[in-house]
Chains A and B, each alone.
Chain A
């Protein structure tokens, strides 16, 4: 074997989450009434565009989840030895980014280090200058004259490649759409352009075009340059940003996975059984939620740190240690954040249990457990779903803040928070080192923005009472106006036909 698979705790939970998601998709597809709100999500342009970006982030996160330990060449011994370093598929794909480590800071697209160094000339004299980078722009003879041209050339190639692959996707999509609707290709294409399709493919394709072009440019350039510069120990910032995506996704999704059992079980029990069960559960969540979140998290993480320091025998690799800390962080965040959802579920269950169909089930002698699982649980799932997508972006942002406070992820784990924290110390440097900060914030912004937009689309679709997005309103208004003018003409026609 060339490698030894490693399944870290969070990996296992992510696989579980993916499986749950697949089962959920399969289940929804078989139930027409559950498909309806999802169709509404599918019709929202902002929702589908943000979903496209999210899918991209998720696939990077998934690639980064498949961990293994590569074998080390061991000539004398026939026994395989595996490296202590845990790598992921993303690390393999990004090997050039991961391994080409410079000495220290270098600006984006730089061919020289950021700091002067004393270099000894062949004749023994010394001079201070910016030394060339080992990898960034190393193929250039004279960076001062060639750099701009080379970057522009590669960027154009990347742009062209991106456009080419986008055209491929466009062709595949329109051909399959045309075949499905048995329409001509040109008709389908113009329908897509006008946004006249059921799913707003024009929004998806516009997003894809932007993404493909930037990916193409990034791919072409990152093989020869550090496109976002390097950090203090010379590691590529672009690579770090890519790695941070998984940490953010894990915090955003696993936390919800952790809190769901608590919130569902306790919330429904409190609402369903009422009486002393309700009192006890209400007391528990009032108490927990009256401790300000950050303080409770800080206290819990401090205690976790003590536990991990005093029990070092539990972790065999640095990655396992960092991973376990991430899992603990998710659990702690979950324990501190289930109260809001629990309260919502309790209220909804209180309302549901008075409904006629539940009363009827009672009268038929259906057991409590069965009523809860068959009649109440499916009817509160939309609340759970909305809470899940709404929480996601907040959790990603919280990770950065917590890491800054010092109660976030393990310092050895690459995340947006640790990147910002490390870069913040260099703010006072003159000239300023700004690229690590900016790329961390940029990636985080893209992730959180698309999550927010998607959450809005889901909320609009599942909760018709709350309208968060005005586009829909405007469309309705326009439709109303058209309807009105149509009515007017009909009215006029009727009048006209009656009057002599």
Chain B
């Protein structure tokens, strides 16, 4: 087991290197730092000195891959590639345009992101599985039919609509909770209720329908027929046999997103004014803070790869048939 995990982690390294190369190419080769400086300082009326100053402030005034003016290892270390891309492996993301340390920002913003994403994830899983079970129990009846219709309708609505509609209805019309904001500590609850509910609803259509399909597929298997044939009531078949087996694809499918919960949700956070990583990314995109976007791309892929490893491990934990070589 340990052997497998170590091998799995080693396999992740070339992927992370690949991600790093992609971001490096995207941010420094497709457009040179000069282009970025010109874009940020305004296209017209920009002096070469201003560009040089902008680049110097951010450490972009070095050669890309090879520094000929240096000696020895400095040839490789005093370059943009080494200082900006390789450094990310040590979680040194550099500084944002407003001068703050990105790694520190990320650390302090993870918690608010998690405060929304984790309840949405856990409560959502419970709600979706419950509804999917109900639909599977009443399969091929009107409950099931209208359930699927509702799911398809929910899937077809833009997530922006849920947020805007929810804010309007609950906060503005009924004044139940504040429209947006965040506070640390216990009174954060009133700020979190609405985003969590909306998060659950906006994911409901696709997930419920997907889980229903998993349940139905499981119910068409032979062991279910055997269970029915020996006279078990439908509820026991469903809850004792089908549910347990169907949980394997559901849970292992959910594991991959657990690390990504730290990143939070881009849209919800910016609408509800929650100082998490999602709104951090949005702010960086709209103010064209390239360093922050680069850092978030790296962090996102890192977390995703962690999620993949966790998925593989969870498979072996819940399903003894799968062996690791």
Which positions in A face B, CB cutoff 8 Å? 283-284, 286-288, 290-292, 294-296, 298-300, 302-303, 305-307, 309-310, 312, 393, 397, 400-401, 404-407, 416, 420, 424, 427, 432, 437, 441, 444-445, 448-449, 452-453, 456, 466-471, 473-474, 477
Instruction: In the A-B complex, list the 8 residue pairs whose CB atoms are closest, starting with the nearest.
Output: A287-B18, A449-B156, A292-B300, A448-B156, A306-B31, A290-B301, A306-B39, A291-B301
Q: Does B153 have its Cβ within 8 Å of any Cβ on chain A? A: yes
Q: 24 A-B pairs, CB-CB below 8 angstroms?
A: A283-B14, A284-B18, A287-B22, A292-B297, A292-B300, A295-B281, A295-B293, A298-B281, A298-B293, A302-B285, A302-B290, A306-B39, A310-B35, A310-B43, A400-B158, A401-B160, A404-B267, A405-B266, A405-B285, A406-B285, A441-B157, A445-B156, A449-B152, A468-B209
**B26 & A470 in contact (Cβ 8 Å cutoff):** no
**Closest residue of chain B to A417, judged by CB?**
B160
B294-312 toward A: CB 8 Å interface, digit per residue (1/0)? 1011001100110010000
Which positions in B face A, CB cutoff 8 Å? 14-15, 18-19, 22-23, 26-27, 30-31, 35-36, 38-39, 43, 139-141, 144-145, 148, 152-153, 155-161, 164, 167-168, 209, 213, 216, 260, 263, 266-267, 281-282, 285-286, 288, 290, 293-294, 296-297, 300-301, 304-305, 308
CB distance from A465 to the nearest CB of B (A): 9
- Among A303, A401, A437, A477, find the residue whose CB has the most chain B CB atoms closer than 10 A: A303
Q: Within 8 Å CB of A296, what residues of B? A: 297
Bound state CA distance, A404 and B145, in angstroms?
A: 34
Q: Within 8 Å CB of A284, what residues of B? A: 18
**B140 & A309 in contact (Cβ 8 Å cutoff):** no
CB distance from B205 to the nearest CB of A (A): 9
Q: Within 8 Å CB of B19, what residues of A? A: 287, 290-291
Bound state CA distance, A23 and B193, in angstroms?
A: 53
**Closest residue of chain B to A446, judged by CB?**
B156
Bound state CA distance, A397 and B157, in angstroms?
A: 8
Bound state CA distance, A424 and B271, in angstroms?
A: 10
Bound state CA distance, A407 and B285, in angstroms?
A: 8
CB distance from B31 to the nearest CB of A (A): 5
Q: Decide: A295 near B152, CB < 8 A? Known: A283-B14, A302-B288, A404-B160.
A: no
Q: Within 8 Å CB of B294, what residues of A? A: 299
Q: Which of B31, B43, B158 contacts A441 (CB 8 A)?
A: B158
Q: Within 8 Å CB of B263, what residues of A? A: 292
Q: Within 8 Å CB of B140, what residues of A? A: 470, 473-474, 477
- 4 more A-B residue pairs beyond the given contacts A295-B300, A405-B266, A420-B164, with a C-beta to C-beta distance below 8 A: A283-B14, A309-B38, A401-B159, A406-B285
**B22 & A291 in contact (Cβ 8 Å cutoff):** yes
Q: Which of A283, A299, A407, A453 contacts B27 (CB 8 A)?
A: A299
**B293 & A302 in contact (Cβ 8 Å cutoff):** yes
**Closest residue of chain B to A442, judged by CB?**
B161
CB distance from B250 to the nearest CB of A (A): 16
Q: Within 8 Å CB of A456, what residues of B? A: 152
Bound state CA distance, A260 and B134, in angstroms?
A: 38
Q: Which of A292, A427, A437, A470 contacts B139 (CB 8 A)?
A: A470
**B164 & A292 in contact (Cβ 8 Å cutoff):** no
Bound state CA distance, A422 and B95, in angstroms?
A: 32
CB distance from A304 to the nearest CB of B (A): 9
Q: Within 8 Å CB of B267, what residues of A? A: 401, 404-405
Bound state CA distance, A498 and B148, in angstroms?
A: 49
Q: Within 8 Å CB of A404, what residues of B? A: 160, 267
Bound state CA distance, A404 and B163, in angstroms?
A: 13
Bound state CA distance, A275 and B139, in angstroms?
A: 45
Bound state CA distance, A466 and B139, in angstroms?
A: 15
- Among A299, A397, A420, A471, find the residue whose CB has the most chain B CB atoms closer than 10 A: A299
Q: Decide: A473 near B213, CB < 8 A? Known: A291-B22, A393-B156.
A: no
**B144 & A283 in contact (Cβ 8 Å cutoff):** no
**A309 & B266 in contact (Cβ 8 Å cutoff):** no
Q: Within 8 Å CB of A286, what residues of B? A: 15
**B148 & A397 in contact (Cβ 8 Å cutoff):** no
- Among A290, A294, A456, find the residue whose CB has the most chain B CB atoms closer than 10 A: A290
**Closest residue of chain A to B305, judged by CB?**
A290
Q: Which of A283, A424, A470 contacts B15 (CB 8 A)?
A: A283
Q: Within 8 Å CB of B145, what residues of A? A: 470-471, 474
CB distance from B264 to the nearest CB of A (A): 11
Q: Within 8 Å CB of A466, what residues of B? A: 213
Bound state CA distance, A306 and B40, in angstroms?
A: 9
